[in-house]
Amino acid sequence: MSKMSQLSQQLDELVRCGEALIGVAESLRELFSGEEASAEAEPVNAGSAVEKKAKVKKEPVQEEKKAYTLEDVRTILAEKSREGFTEEVKAVIAKRGAKKLSGIDPAEYEAIVAEVEGLGNA
């Protein structure tokens, strides 16, 4: 293997690690910003527990589709890659005509996540 080939592989790995770190940082940001928002949204003495339960029951439960960001998908793909599915992850990206995740239309992120989450479960 030539030195340029080795360097290229090491640079690719460095990029994957950086993308994984970005994904983890974004996840942590969302996690902690979500706790602050829910803590601020409800005052401490805002009615009895019975009233709170009644309010919850009145509201219909709606399932929302998660709108994945580039960082979300990057984190999920990086984790699957670490689990040993690197070639499969690359194939999912290549199947969409791209060399890297940033070259894929964000509208396809949900399908990509669904596809890679199925890896290893079959």
Task: Read off the pLDDT of residues 42-84 as tens digits, 9 standing for 90 and up.
Answer: 555 545 555 555 555 555 555 556 788 999 999 999 999 898 9
Shortest CA distance to 117 belongs to which of 87, 61, 79, 82?
A: 79
Look at residue 110 in the predicted model and tell me its pLDDT.
92
Look at residue 45 in the predicted model and tell me its pLDDT.
52
The label of the residue with tokens 């942590």 reads 28
Contact 30, 85 (CB under 8 A): no
Contact 116, 80 (CB under 8 A): yes
Question: Between vectors from CA 98 to CA 9 and to CA 13, what angle results, nearest 5°?
Answer: 20
